[in-house]
Amino acid sequence: MSATKTAPETARSRDVKNRWLLSLPALAIIFVAALGPLLVMVLYSFLEKGDYGDVKFGTFSLEGWTSVFLQRDIFDDTLGIADAHLAIFWRSITLSLYTTILTLILGFPTAYFIATRPARSREIWVFLITIPFWTNLLIRTFAMQQVIRNEGILNNVLIWLGVIDRPLQIIYTDTATLLGMTYVYLPLMVLPLYASIEKLDFRLVEAGYDLYANRLQVLWRIVIPLVKPGLIAGSILVFIPSLGAYVIPRVLGGGKNLMLGNLIELQFGAGRNWPLGAAMSITLMALVMIALLFYVRNAAKSGVRHG
């Protein structure tokens, strides 16, 4: 009797071992390609910076982490607040939040419009939304530059209409970066919202109108709670790449109004401070992880609530 019990267990154990052995090449690739660079960054952040942009292996130092938010005085070597770094952190977070809000304001009506179209035309609208993904990010950013520059389409139209007398200085400002990120990341907001709105039972909307609710009440009390998972997913999909944006602030901001991605690149380039760049990279990843945990927590609550 014991032999018949152990035989299936032995076979199951052998099957598990075989699966692990077959998975080892894929796990090794994942470790090298994903965890490897991360571990290198963690290692670099705890080393002393070299004289020519490298690190001094074997020399432990917390200077990289200290310099993320603090800076040493060049005269007495005392620590003070790194105002420039904090300003860049604040600019990155606020611009990412503004981008998320703008894409939500523009993306929600767009997604609602697409979801309420007939099934045949709905596919065409979704196809049009995905077309920007066919174009390189740099090309889309340069296209926005041609729209908002001093001699661009926007200023020429406003002057022709008589709204302004001289071109508006939009390019190379935070506003230009905000407009560029909104334009580039808008599809990332529309698609998750569309997926949620498409599944919405519009009989609930009709029931709300039957109970004498106005459009604002129906939107706030019925539609938004039911499409909340798509709203949160779209917000995260926009906020995370906006926080680490590099190309858009470099092209539209002119390299003067830095964001986190530009600051990290500066440390690995002209700054020649690899430990600081590595520490900032880990800090950026921590901010992204906080945003993801916020999404998972809210998604879990929404699942339990609508469960």
Q: Is residue 220 part of a domain?
A: yes
Q: Is residue 114 part of a domain?
A: yes
If asked whether residues 209 and 269 sit together in one domain, one would say: yes
If asked whether residues 166 and 197 sit together in one domain, one would say: yes
Residue 230 or 51, more confident: 230
**Alpha helix ranges (H) inside the chain:** 2-30, 36-45, 63-69, 83-115, 119-130, 137-148, 153-161, 174-198, 202-210, 215-218, 224-226, 228-243, 247-252, 260-268, 274-306
Mean pLDDT across 176-197: 94
Mean pLDDT across 188-195: 94
From 95, 42, 33, select the one nearest 278 (Cα to Cα): 42
Task: Give 192's contacts (C-beta < 8 A, 6+ positions apart).
Answer: 230, 231, 233, 234, 237
Q: Is residue 197 part of a domain?
A: yes
Domain end call among 37, 67, 97: 67
If asked whether residues 188 and 131 sit together in one domain, one would say: yes
If asked whether residues 42 and 99 sit together in one domain, one would say: no
Q: Is residue 76 part of a domain?
A: no
Q: Is the pLDDT confidence value at 8 over 80?
A: no
If asked whether residues 7 and 109 sit together in one domain, one would say: no
Q: Is residue 75 part of a domain?
A: no
Domain end call among 67, 101, 116: 67
Q: Mind listing the pLDDT tens digit for each residue in 19-65?
A: 888 888 888 888 888 888 888 999 999 999 888 878 888 889 898 99
From 83, 39, 45, select the one nearest 61 (Cα to Cα): 45
If asked whether residues 223 and 121 sit together in one domain, one would say: yes
Domain of 17, in residue numbers = 2-67
What local confidence, expressed as pLDDT, does residue 182 receive? 96
Domain end call among 36, 67, 98: 67
Q: Is residue 73 part of a domain?
A: no
Domain with residue 208: its CATH number is 1.10.3720.10
Q: Is residue 161 part of a domain?
A: yes
Q: List Cα–Cα distances, 134 to 130, 156, 184, 219, 234, in angstroms.
A: 8, 28, 12, 33, 20
If asked whether residues 62 and 195 sit together in one domain, one would say: no
Q: Is residue 74 part of a domain?
A: no
Tally the domains of the chain: 2
What local confidence, expressed as pLDDT, does residue 260 receive? 92
Q: What burial letters (b/e) apply to 55-68, b meaning 16+ CB within 10 Å?
A: beeeeeeebbbbbb
Q: Mind listing the pLDDT tens digit for each residue in 133-162?
A: 888 999 999 999 999 999 999 999 999 999
d(CA 281, CA 307): 38
When mean pLDDT is compared across 112-116, 231-235, 295-299, the lowest value belongs to: 295-299
Mean pLDDT across 197-202: 89
Q: Is the pLDDT confidence value at 88 over 70?
A: yes
If asked whether residues 247 and 109 sit together in one domain, one would say: yes
If asked whether residues 108 and 248 sit together in one domain, one would say: yes
If asked whether residues 167 and 295 sit together in one domain, one would say: yes
Residue 35 or 173, more confident: 173
The helix (run of H) or strand (run of E) holding residue 70 is: strand 70-72
Q: Mind listing the pLDDT tens digit for each residue in 234-271?
A: 999 999 999 989 999 999 988 778 899 999 999 998 88
If asked whether residues 215 and 106 sit together in one domain, one would say: yes
What local confidence, expressed as pLDDT, does residue 300 receive? 67
